[in-house]
Structure 1
Amino acid sequence: MDFFGDTMKVLGHSLDYAAAKNNTISANVANVDTPNYKAKDVTFQSMLDDAFESEMKAKRTDPRHLPFDDEGNTYKIVERKHTAYNHNGNNVDIDKEMAELGKNQIYYQSLIDRINGKFRSLENVLKGGN
């Protein structure tokens, strides 16, 4: 029985994204002085796809076509190329990374708060609404 519909699945994917973003930012900060290190970003590829999923179902007409299911990561880690902020070829901007870390922490906490709210609602129902 699915109590929350797809909500917990979406929140779980969002938490995976936030964790990957946090790990990527941590790696960038750890390599701020590493020569020729190129900073990495996490992109959330399927946000638009998820928003229109219920209205725009894709049909696979050939088994060689890519599937349109929800399996796998909804994000991708990409390297920031063709820039160098430091004399050693490194392109990590520590101020940008720390700002991104703060935004990601707020995002992660809001997801946790939403999950907690879902479980509090379930707990309230199980206790009889008291």
Structure 2
Amino acid sequence: MSARFTRRRSEPILTLINVVFLLLAFFLVAGTLAARPPADLQLVALPEGARAPEPGRVALSAQGDILWPEGVADASAFIAQLPPEAGGVARILPDRAAPAPALVALARDLSAAGAQGIRLVAERGEAP
């Protein structure tokens, strides 16, 4: 009488757990690599809200100072470094207390530098 060994199949749930764990690790790393806007920047609030900021954004402070991303000094350099997925669209994150003339001047500069479009980014919530 010979002993017969049957091969045991691995649990299919283990594969699912491995995939979920790898996705979790990926999103944790990807989320921490994204550049964050300045901490004291308070975005404009709209009742309908807007989508989360995407690549290709520049901030405008309450004092009217333009806060370019790292390594960018002016509108031309900003447009040149826009990622392909932005589609040539520049996004402005204005502080809710930013002066309107500074916002208009920034939008004109970006448009003159070759921006295909300009979007204002706001946060969801009630307007104050």
> Normalising by structure 2, what TM-score?
0.26
Higher strand share: 2
Higher helix share: 1
Q: Greater Rg, structure 1 or structure 2?
A: 2
> Normalising by structure 1, what TM-score?
0.26
